[in-house]
A and B are shown apart, each in its own frame.
Chain A
């Protein structure tokens, strides 16, 4: 089992002809993701060639792509100026999950896009996220497929490359994953820690969860309370940004300590108080989750 995506996921790629879109579409297809359509306005009627010479039809608009192919999930690789528009179009097209990889989408655009998607009952992952992967089944986004393996651990993270680091260490230690989800580094994201924890709690094959947080906001603190109140499965965590100075944005638009709120210290304390073992460094996560599972 897995959460959000699996073997049956039928994916449409928005921005399939761009540099990143085409590169990662090939990577996703090589991994085994069922990419059924691409959308690039003005390139409808053309097709995208997959790694084994298979052809993926390209459409001008999302509604056409969904009507023709029955796609249920979309992934967005379009530039920031058009990303919110792409999310709105996807949320209106009939897919149930929209994964927005794009970084640098104006926040006020996302206020509208999130509200619209919520009204349509569509889950948005991101923006500014690496996407997600259910090992052996499907990957949507940019997570490198070679570092994951099938197994019982659920992983949820606000980062991209830090996720790879943690997954790589889990895999090296023989701990496979049900699904790895990057929820994104922006201040306004569509799917938060609690959404993922709920899904992992409900997934019969997930036996434990690794949660990677960072400075900024209160998502981790709220998730910690959820873990102690509503989860039966063990959760271990790590918080990045212990050395980050207050008031400075650390790369991610959402990674900023405002006043005295959103520090790594405060989040680690919330984890510990709610029974989430905290790793001092990413390399310690493996031992912690092994302990928690025993």
Chain B
């Protein structure tokens, strides 16, 4: 789960990281009021789950409250990489001397949290990493100890020469690790970490992604979820415990297992069709989940045919078959359904489907080809 900059800043403040004040506005008038309160120059920043906000014109400097109102009016409702801006953060402008980058993420290869710092802040760190890796210092954190003081110092010492700046940055690096762990994050970054001409080190931007598997035990973080950023169908899927991603095609896919679901989408494309979605009904499936899956797939008006591809392992085919039969009783399903079921409890499943008047395929290629043909208007 991604959270907004202002939310990540709240997590940072809790960990003690120096972050300038800021408030959220959803109207130009609110932005004006906040800017009046701070006085002086402010920054108006779009709050969307997307990088490249600055490039898209979503971050503007305003020299007074009237200008803050104007900028907020322009930014609110703006489309940034397909996302509509519904909130702006209004924050006092800082007197920036230097800009650095400090980030921590879970490194798949090291199987551990890894810090990355660079004196080249305020730019895309992936770019710095690819072009000038010598400008980046990395440190993998041993989970037994967390980040140790001399390690935070070693990272900070790569960013600055001034002892006071190094000391402040060391603390911020340790605090960032605390914020990362206590939020159940998979990534947390400060870009840029600035120094001011008064010799202070501050985080003026904040980005954090939360590991979805942490949310069950972190209600305070779960409360930061902004559902206005998600399609209604994806919210419904999450509530039903399904993994669903909406795509633009017309062949609805309902598959058990993520790998097979991806391979099924790829096969739809192979046979000349376009998948309407990724949907994994998951393991230990019960009939209610299948009902929810069909409701979600049929809520997409583009869907012209629905295919089931179920290979039973932990999922029992008879559960899925019961779900399909029950769903077709409960809701009116317009598009034709084609089904492939094989694996655990396959015989039971085929009996249930035959009794209900469905015929089932046993090959993945056959069912996908049929679904593509039906979506294209074939009989």
Contacts and interface: CB of A to CB of B under 8 A. Distances in A.
Interface of A: 19-20, 24, 27, 80-81, 101, 103-108, 110-112, 114-115, 130, 142-144, 147, 157-165, 168, 185, 187-188, 212, 214-215, 217-219, 238, 240-245, 248-255, 259, 264, 280-283
A164 B269 CA distance: 21
Contacts of A115: 111-112, 142-144
B143 A168 contact: no
B262 A241 contact: yes
Given A159-B258, A188-B111, A245 B313 contact: no
Interface residues of B, number: 53
A243 B275 contact: yes
B369 to A, nearest CB: 11
A250 B284 contact: no
Contacts of A245: 245, 247
Given A159-B260, A241-B262, A245-B247, A253 B311 contact: no
A107 B314 CA distance: 23
B353 interface: no
B187 to A, nearest CB: 10
Contact of B365 (A161, A218, A283): A283
B191 interface: no
A159 B257 contact: yes
B364 interface: yes
Interface in B252-268: 255-263, 265-268
B126 interface: yes
A254 B216 CA distance: 19
A106 B214 CA distance: 5
23 contacts: A20-B284, A24-B314, A80-B213, A80-B216, A81-B217, A107-B211, A112-B143, A115-B111, A115-B112, A157-B259, A159-B263, A160-B260, A160-B314, A161-B257, A162-B257, A164-B313, A185-B258, A238-B263, A240-B266, A244-B262, A249-B245, A251-B280, A264-B266
A161 B186 contact: no
B247 A160 contact: no
B342 interface: yes
B184 interface: yes
A59 B281 CA distance: 33
- For A162, A248, A252, which residue has the most chain B Cβ atoms within 10 angstroms? A162
Nearest to A280: B270
A162 B284 contact: no
B51 to A, nearest CB: 9
B278 interface: yes
Nearest to A261: B126
B344 interface: yes
A111 B111 contact: yes
Nearest to B216: A81
B229 to A, nearest CB: 13
Contacts of A19: 284
Determine chain B's interface SS by DSSP, over half rule. Answer: mixed
Contacts of B144: 112, 115
B106 A144 contact: no
Which 4 residue pairs of A and B lie closest in terms of their CB atoms, listed nearest first? A159-B259, A251-B258, A161-B257, A162-B259
A130 B270 CA distance: 27
Interface of B: 106, 108-109, 111-113, 126, 142-144, 181, 184, 186, 211-214, 216-217, 243, 245, 247, 255-263, 265-270, 275, 278, 280, 282-284, 311-315, 342-344, 364-365
Nearest to A216: B108
B235 to A, nearest CB: 15
A253 B184 contact: no
A238 B264 CA distance: 13
A110 B111 contact: yes
Nearest to A119: B144
Given A20-B284, A115-B112, A168-B342, A144 B312 contact: yes
Contact of B245 (A106, A107, A248, A281): A248
B311 A282 contact: no
B205 to A, nearest CB: 18
Contacts of B184: 106, 108
A259 B311 CA distance: 32
Nearest to B247: A245
Given A159-B260, A161-B257, A107 B106 contact: yes
Contacts of A214: 258-259, 262
Contacts of B275: 243
Contacts of A250: 243, 245, 258, 261-262, 278
A104 B364 contact: no
Nearest to B186: A107
A154 to B, nearest CB: 18
A284 B259 CA distance: 16
Contact of A103 (B256, B260, B266, B283): B283
Contact of B267 (A24, A219, A281): A281
Contacts of A112: 143-144
Nearest to A282: B263
Contacts of B255: 161
A128 B245 CA distance: 20
Contact of B106 (A80, A101, A108, A251): A108
A188 B262 CA distance: 20
A108 B181 contact: yes
Given A81-B217, A188-B106, A165 B364 contact: yes
A282 B108 CA distance: 27
Given A80-B216, A115-B142, A158-B259, 10 more contacts: A81-B217, A115-B111, A144-B312, A147-B343, A159-B258, A212-B259, A241-B266, A250-B261, A251-B262, A281-B267
Nearest to B281: A251
Contacts of B278: 244, 248, 250-251
A161 B216 contact: no
Contacts of B263: 159, 162, 165, 238, 240, 281-282
Contacts of A130: 313-314
Contact of B311 (A104, A105, A165): A165
